[in-house]
């Protein structure tokens, strides 16, 4: 029985490796469009793409930030003798904007081959204190900002029978975390979208990846920390803090292999594994480590509950 299981695991593993190797993305000379490419993780993706010889387009809403990002990217592109990066000011949480954006960007840099959706924000707070409007604005900022550019990209990629779409969720999009009642559900929604898109893209040779970063030191993260409950701070400490460069670099490697569920760091990788559910793609590591990891989660959860109780007592005192 054990041998049969092991053989099964091995064959899935070999098959998976073969599939991922065949499907490796070749990005040189391809147009990569990055929403949220003017700051943090998105900007780091943009730098990597420039260094890989891609034709890069970045999108944001703030003109100062866009200009600064373009300056940085130009330096990178000069270094490798690449094509001048392009930038646009659009709110990608608006459906019409995205059609305009794609029309303009494709005219300049050619057909979009890789879309990286990195636009997003996080507003933490105690559930009962959050303004009801925040729940809507977080859906807009994180979910709709993914839906609209993907719609514009997908119909184009589908016609060309090539392309890859990257969505950005979060560890908080895989599990609920104290203080993220507005943020987490919007990132869960992104994950749901990615699983559906994976299937709908399949017949058209278009791939989908879902990146779930852990806490990452970015301008957005500094902003979020200004109003973060102490519980949230303490609960997330366990998973560590990563640099935007490291997150983009590690995720980029997995994107090139067209992996579906992607995270960074040991804890991040363990969490995406244990939260993989009915998602596509299975690895041997996942099959074998699942029961052990679920066991570890049990102890982590006990610890977390203790932190929440401690903080409650502290606040009452
Ligand atoms: N940092 C973390 O700890 C962390 C953890 C997990 C997941 N994430 C996710 O990773 C992504 C990047 O995060 P980050 O920390 O690098 O954020 P960041 O530094 O705040 O950068 C966010 C980028 O998105 C752009 N943006 C936001 N909303 C937009 C919209 N509606 N239309 C166009 N552009 C928009 C911003 O530009 P403008 O402001 O100029 O529009 C900026 O370029 C986000 O989706 C975030 O939720 C981050
Ligand atoms: C735009 O970005 C600049 C540079 O990061 C920042 O100083 C400014 O406050 C931002 N403006 C708005 C309206 O967010």
DSSP string covering 169-230, please?
--GGGTS--TTBTTHHHHHHHHHHHHHHHHHHHGGGTEEEEEE---SEESHHHHHHHTT--H
Q: Which atom of ligand 2 is nearest to the CA of 39?
A: 5
Residue 4 has pLDDT above 80, yes or no: no
Q: Which of 34, 36, 144, 185 to mutate to test the pocket of ligand 1 (most atoms within 8 A of CB)?
A: 36
Task: Starting from the CA of residue 242, give the closest ligand.
Answer: 1
| Residue closest by Cα to atom 5 of ligand 2 | 65
Paired residues of 242 in beta bridges: 216
State which CATH number among 3.60.15.10, 3.40.50.720, 3.30.300.30, 3.40.50.2300 fits the domain covering 27-316.
3.40.50.720
Q: How far is the CA of 160 from the centre of ligand 2 (A)?
A: 38
Residue 267 has pLDDT above 70, yes or no: yes
Residue 55 has pLDDT above 70, yes or no: yes
Q: What is the pLDDT of residues 84-123, one digit of tens each?
A: 999 999 999 999 999 999 999 999 999 999 999 999 999 9
Residue 2 has pLDDT above 70, yes or no: no
Mean per-residue pLDDT over the chain, rounded:
93
Q: How far is the CA of 117 from the centre of ligand 1 (A)?
A: 9
Establish whether residue 157 lines the binding site of ligand 1, counting it when its CB lies within 6 angstroms of any ligand atom: no
What is the per-residue pLDDT for 188? 98
Mean pLDDT check: name the lowest of 54-68, 243-257, 261-275, 282-296.
Answer: 282-296
Tokens of 263: 């995270």
pLDDT band for position 135 (50/70/90)? very high
What is the per-residue pLDDT for 239? 80
What is the per-residue pLDDT for 6? 66
For the chain, domain boundaries:
27-316
Residue 165 has pLDDT above 60, yes or no: yes
Q: How far is the CA of 37 from the centre of ligand 1 (A)?
A: 8
Residue 21 has pLDDT above 70, yes or no: no
Residue 283 has pLDDT above 90, yes or no: no
pLDDT band for position 169 (50/70/90)? very high
**Catalytic site residues?**
169, 183, 187
Tokens of 136: 């809507």
What is the per-residue pLDDT for 286? 82
Residue 149 has pLDDT above 70, yes or no: yes
Tokens of 89: 């000011």
Q: How far is the CA of 267 from the centre of ligand 2 (A)?
A: 33
């Amino acid at each position: 029985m054990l041998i049969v299981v092991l053989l099964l695991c091995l064959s899935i593993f070999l098959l998976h490796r073969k599939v991922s190797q065949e499907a490796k993305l070749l990005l040189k000379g391809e147009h990569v469009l990055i929403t949220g490419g003017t700051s943090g993780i998105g900007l780091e993706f943009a730098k990597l793409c420039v260094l890989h010889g891609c034709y890069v387009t970045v999108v944001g809403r703030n003109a100062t930030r866009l200009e600064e990002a373009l300056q940085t990217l130009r330096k990178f592109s000069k270094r490798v003798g690449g094509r001048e990066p392009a930038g646009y000011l659009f709110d990608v949480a608006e459906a019409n904007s995205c059609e305009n954006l794609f029309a303009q960007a494709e005219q300049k840099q050619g057909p979009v081959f890789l879309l990286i959706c990195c636009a997003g924000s996080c507003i933490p707070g105690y559930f009962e204190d959050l303004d009801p409007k925040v729940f809507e604005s977080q859906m807009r900022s994180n979910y709709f900002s993914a839906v609209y550019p993907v719609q514009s990209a997908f119909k184009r990629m589908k016609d060309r029978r090539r392309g890859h779409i990257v969505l950005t969720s979060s560890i908080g999009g895989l599990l609920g975390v104290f203080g993220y009642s507005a943020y987490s559900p919007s990132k869960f929604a992104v994950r749901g979208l990615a699983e559906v898109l994976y299937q709908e893209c399949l017949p058209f040779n278009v791939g989908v990846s879902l990146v779930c970063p852990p806490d990452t030191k970015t301008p957005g993260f500094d902003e979020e920390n200004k109003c973060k409950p102490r519980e949230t701070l303490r609960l997330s400490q366990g998973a560590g803090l990563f640099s935007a460069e490291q997150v983009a670099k590690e995720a980029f490697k997995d994107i090139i292999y067209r992996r579906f569920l992607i995270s960074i760091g040991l804890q991040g990788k363990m969490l995406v594994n244990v939260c993989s559910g009915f998602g596509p793609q299975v690895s041997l590591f996942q099959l074998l480590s699942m029961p052990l990891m679920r066991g570890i989660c049990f102890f982590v959860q006990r610890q977390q509950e203790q932190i929440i109780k401690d903080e409650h007592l502290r606040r009452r005192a």
